[in-house]
Every structure is written in structure tokens, then in C-alpha cells.
């Protein structure tokens, strides 16, 4: 028999009432205690208020399969058992306990799931955005590399003849330097002129030599000795690699000249006089 004046039993009975876990005998005992100590009603209400806040303070944990089965079984028996009556007492008006239904947890669970989902989606979008930016950057680098390789391959193909001529033992190389600086980069143009003595075929490879409009050309002049007038040896425009190849107007142009000159001329200028000096070879 439960003793009404046992403090430990009082606490257990109050807790059982709040948890809706009292037998009929325990419910009668609790009513008897409340009749003797009405002040316990306030303590019960405090227990109920504290218990109602527990779902919002505790982390949501997934029960084990065994515990979940026991909870469902207990809930089924509770719903099926209609013989139990709520605790009623005519002695002390006791507030009815608040039912702790799992449905009350749905908003909190839904909010938590939504927050986790939104966070996961946001992180995924950030990661995808970074991966997309990295992919674009790599594609741009690859395109730039392929473009550079294509340019180098084109230059190599264009310079095959120059390389072949350089490999010949009787090919002479003349170094030319710009008379003035290139206005675009403030550097003097430089060039290498490849020629074989008495061979009218001429190859010129230049750097920092300005590109010309369609109405202008560069002209090459050969000076045989200190007292000779410049002799016209042809005109040219270099390609994108700076290379120009042509056949000189006379084989005497490449027959061991003292120096070469490059001038800037109009297409309509006569070949009997040279225009402004652009480059000259060292003597």
C-alpha cells in the first residue's frame, strides 16, 4: 500500500500523472494526497509546464527499431484501452494533464528538416558554382594553350624554309637594326637577312617591325661598297611571324654586299630612289 506521506512516492505519483502513466490505485492515492496537501496542485502544474517545453529543448533522435516497435505497441494498447478513466477528484480541483501527442512535434520536425534541406541545397549550389567557375577557367586555359600551340605550329611550318636555309653551310646571315624605335613599344626593330652569295632568293625575319597599311611597303637596298649608290633588291611586307621571302631583282644584291638598307616607301614610289630609312645592317 502506497503511503500518502512518503515524499518519494509523492514525486513519483506526480511524475506518473504528468506522464499519464498511473494505475487506478496510484491515481486514487494521488487524489488522497492532494486532498491532504492541496498545495501540491501548483507543483503538478509546474511539472506539466516544464514537461511541455521538453520537445523544444531536446535534439530529435531517431529511436532504434526495437524501441520504435515498443512505442507503437504501447500507443496501440493505450488507444485500445477504454476502461481507464481520467483522474477525477472531488476534493481538490486538479487541472487535466496536457496530452503529449507526437503531432505537436510535427511543426518543429518540419522546420528542422526544412532548415537542413535549405542549408544542404545552399551548400550544393555554392559547390556547383565553384566547380562551374573552375571548369570555365580550365576550359579557357585549355583554349589559350591550344591557340598558342596552333600559332607555334604555323610559325614552325612557315619557317621550315628558313630553317633549311640556315642549315646550309654557304648561307650568310646579316643582322639589321631599326633606325628609330617602334612607337608602339619604344623598341628598335631587329631583323636577320638570309642570303647565299649570288642567289637572288632572300629571306628576312624581323621583330618589332611595324605592320604597314596597304599603300606602303618596305624596300630592301644593297650597297656594294662605300662609294656605291644603293641598289634596289625588292620589296616586302612581313607576315604575322615577321617573316618575308622574295626573289631579289638582281643576283648582284646578294653578292657579298657591304651592307643592306630597308626603307619605307609608297607603292607608287619609283625604285630609283629610296624612301625614309627604317633599318640598316652593321658593316
With respect to residue 114, please indicate whether it lies within any of the assigned structural domains.
yes
- In this structure, the answer to whether residues 39 and 73 fall within a common structural domain is yes
How many CB atoms sit inside 10 A of residue 193's CB?
22
The three cell numbers of residue 113 are 528538416
The answer to pTM > 0.75 is: no
- In this structure, the answer to whether residues 112 and 45 fall within a common structural domain is no
With respect to residue 232, please indicate whether it lies within any of the assigned structural domains.
yes
Whole domain around residue 125: which residue ranges?
101-158
Tens of pLDDT along the chain (283 residues)?
A: 344 455 657 788 887 787 777 888 888 888 888 888 888 888 788 777 776 766 655 555 566 677 667 677 776 766 665 444 444 444 444 444 444 444 455 555 566 666 666 676 777 778 788 888 888 888 888 888 888 787 667 655 655 555 555 556 688 899 999 998 877 778 899 999 999 888 999 999 999 888 899 999 999 999 999 899 999 999 999 887 788 999 998 999 998 899 999 999 999 999 998 999 999 997 6
Q: What pLDDT is stored for residue 81 in this prediction?
A: 56
Residue 266 burial (C-beta neighbours within 10 Å; 0-12, 13-18, 19+): exposed
**Count of the separate structural domains present in the chain:** 3
The three cell numbers of residue 99 are 496530452
- In this structure, the answer to whether residues 68 and 110 fall within a common structural domain is no
- In this structure, the answer to whether residues 242 and 212 fall within a common structural domain is yes
How many CB atoms sit inside 10 A of residue 46's CB?
12
- In this structure, the answer to whether residues 268 and 180 fall within a common structural domain is yes
With respect to residue 36, please indicate whether it lies within any of the assigned structural domains.
yes
- In this structure, the answer to whether residues 122 and 78 fall within a common structural domain is no
8 A C-beta contact, residue 26 and residue 46: no
Q: What pLDDT is stored for residue 92 in this prediction?
A: 41
With respect to residue 1, please indicate whether it lies within any of the assigned structural domains.
no
For the residues of 134-201, what is the DSSP string, one character each?
A: HHHHHHHHHHHHHHHHHHHHHHHHHTHHHHHHHTSTT-EEEEEEEEEE-TTTS-EEEEEEEE-TT--E
- Please name the residues in contact with 172: beta carbons below 8 A apart, sequence gap of 6 or more: 194, 195, 196, 197, 254
Tell me 271's DSSP state: T
Amino acid at each position: 500500500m502506497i503511503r500518502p506521506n512518503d515524499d518519494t512516492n509523492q514525486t513519483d505519483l506526480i511524475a506518473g500523472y504528468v506522464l499519464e502513466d498511473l494505475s487506478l490505485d496510484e491515481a486514487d492515492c494521488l487524489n488522497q494526497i492532494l486532498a491532504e496537501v492541496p498545495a501540491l496542485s501548483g507543483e503538478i502544474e509546474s511539472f506539466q509546464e516544464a514537461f511541455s517545453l521538453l520537445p523544444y529543448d531536446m535534439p530529435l533522435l531517431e529511436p532504434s527499431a526495437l524501441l520504435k516497435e515498443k512505442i507503437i505497441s504501447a500507443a496501440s494498447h493505450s488507444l485500445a484501452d477504454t476502461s481507464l478513466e481520467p483522474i477525477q477528484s472531488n476534493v481538490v480541483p486538479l487541472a487535466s494533464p496536457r496530452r503529449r501527442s507526437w503531432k505537436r512535434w510535427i511543426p518543429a520536425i518540419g522546420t528542422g528538416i526544412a532548415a537542413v534541406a535549405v542549408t544542404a541545397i545552399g551548400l550544393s549550389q555554392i559547390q556547383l558554382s565553384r566547380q562551374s567557375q573552375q571548369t570555365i577557367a580550365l576550359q579557357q586555359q585549355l583554349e589559350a594553350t591550344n591557340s598558342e600551340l596552333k600559332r607555334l605550329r604555323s610559325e614552325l611550318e612557315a619557317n621550315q624554309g628558313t630553317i633549311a636555309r640556315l642549315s646550309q653551310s654557304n648561307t650568310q646571315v646579316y643582322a639589321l637594326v631599326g633606325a628609330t624605335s617602334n612607337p608602339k613599344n619604344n623598341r628598335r626593330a631587329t631583323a636577320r637577312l638570309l642570303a647565299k652569295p649570288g642567289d637572288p632568293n632572300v629571306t628576312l625575319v624581323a621583330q618589332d617591325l611595324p605592320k604597314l597599311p596597304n599603300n606602303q611597303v618596305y624596300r630592301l637596298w644593297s650597297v656594294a661598297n662605300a662609294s656605291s649608290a644603293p641598289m634596289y633588291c625588292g620589296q616586302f611586307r612581313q607576315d604575322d611571324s615577321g617573316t618575308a621571302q622574295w626573289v631579289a631583282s638582281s643576283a648582284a644584291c646578294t653578292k657579298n654586299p657591304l651592307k643592306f638598307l630597308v626603307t619605307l616607301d609608297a607603292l607608287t614610289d619609283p625604285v630609283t630612289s629610296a624612301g625614309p630609312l627604317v633599318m640598316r645592317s652593321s658593316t
